[in-house]
Amino acid sequence: MRTYETTFVINPQSDDAVIDQQVNAITKIITDNGGSIHHENRMGTRRLAYPILGLAQGYYTSLIYDGETVIPPQLDKYFKLEEPYIRYLTICYEGPIPTTEEEVEKETEGKPADKPAVAKPEKKPEAKTEAPAEEVKTEAPAETTPEPVAEEAPAVETPVEAETPAETTPEPVAEEAPAEAEAPAKEAPVEEAPAETKPPEADEKEML
Amino acid sequence: MAYGSNTNRRTYKKRDPSAKKRKKVCRFCEDGIKYIDFKDERTLRRFTTERGKMVPRRTSGNCAKHQRALTRSIKRARYMAIMGFVTESFR
């Protein structure tokens, strides 16, 4: 048994139901051959770095699974025969297996936090149109409800902030690197340019 | 003009010793990252130039082990169209 990671890109022009089927077809191949899927990461439609078969976007999915050595060649065969799979790559996975709960929380917390914020303001005007006696009652919960949203929002942001500083710190060095590389490149022609231009002048003087 | 070129050389000579003294540390070793994911475009972008070329070890300061892993994941990312082989503006 080995841990593999298969990433593939599907043509995004088909419907969501069809894409689901195409992803499920691959999970079936893995499970039918005695493999067990640890993690399924649907990255969704992303822009391709370069056009493939005239397509600018692709639906990315990656599967991390345990299985026998029989599975990768079978997957390769399937990918080759089926048209909607634009790109595919199976590698021996050496990294830590991501726990599904952590990633699901990260993905889900970000989205619902935005949705209720938009939905709640809509409720307020509805409550006002109703009986004035209810206004006091309805507004009170309406005021309380945004608070948990406000609490949730920073909770979502804090892990992101905690991650970013570690990531952002190395950036300046990366920026410096090209700057250093460019600087000598710019200086070099300046030095060379006058050296090249001088000799003809000197030659002209000599000729005169 | 000759003076200008001389001054440039002097400044260049002054820079060299200070650059040698710097000790670059592998960022992956510092952060304790063991596996570099080829789908993590953000991390990989930091170790490529604007053109999409891989930054050498002497500039990035990566250790040999992580540089090898990084190269592998950049090449995988290129194949999967996560990163470009060449940047658009230079195509």
Distance CA B64, CA A103 (A): 31
Q: What is the CA radius of gyration of chain A?
A: 29
The C-alpha of B55 sits at a distance from chain A's nearest C-alpha, in angstroms, of 8
Q: Cβ of A181 and B12 within 8 Å?
A: no
Cβ burial of B79 (10 Å; 0-12, 13-18, 19+) is: middle
Sort out which chain B residues have CB atoms less than 8 A from A43's CB and list them.
Answer: 39
Q: Is the pLDDT of residue A160 over 50?
A: no
Label residue B23 by pLDDT band (50, 70, 90): confident
CA–CA separation, A64 vs A90, rounded Å?
Answer: 10
| A55 phi/psi in degrees, rounded to 5 | -100, 140
**Distance separating alpha carbons of residues A97 and A108, to the nearest angstrom:** 20
How confident is the model over A82-103, as a mean pLDDT?
A: 84
H or E element that contains A10:
strand A2-10
Q: Using CA atoms, how far apart are residues A41 and A87, in angstroms rounded to an integer?
A: 16
The complex's ipTM works out to: 0.73
Q: Which two tokens stand for residue B15?
A: 């820079």
List CB contacts of A1: < 8 A, sequence separation 6 or more: A66, A67, A68
Q: Measured between alpha carbons, how far is A127 from A135 in angstroms, rounded to an integer?
A: 6
- Residues forming a β-bridge with A2: A67
CB atoms within 10 A of CB A31: 14
For A127, the 3-state DSSP assignment is: helix
Over 80: is that where the pLDDT of A64 sits? yes
The pLDDT score that the predictor gives to residue A107 is 54
- Which of B39, B42, B47 is nearest residue A7 as measured by Cβ atoms? B39
Nearest to B42 among A7, A60, A167 (CB): A167
Calculate mean pLDDT across residues B40-54.
Answer: 92
Distance CA A56, CA A78 (A): 23
Q: Is A9 helix (H, G, I), strand (E, B) or coil?
A: strand
Helix (H) or strand (E) run with residue A149 in it: helix A146-168
Hey, which of A105-114, B3-12, B21-30, B46-55 has the most confident mean pLDDT? Answer: B46-55
What percent of chain A clears pLDDT 70, i.e. is strictly above it?
A: 48
Substitution target from A43, A59, A94, A167 for chain B, most B beta carbons within 10 A: A167
The predicted structure's pLDDT at residue B89: 62
pLDDT one-digit tens code per residue, A9-24: 999 988 889 999 999 9
Question: For residue range A123-159, what is the model confidence (pLDDT) as tens digits?
Answer: 444 444 444 444 444 444 444 444 444 444 444 444 4
pTM (2 d.p.): 0.58
* Secondary structure, 3-state, A46-79: EEEEEEECCEEEEEEEEEEEEECCCHHHHHHHHH
Residue A104's nearest CA partner among A46, A171, A41, A10 is A41
Rg, C-alpha atoms of chain B: 17
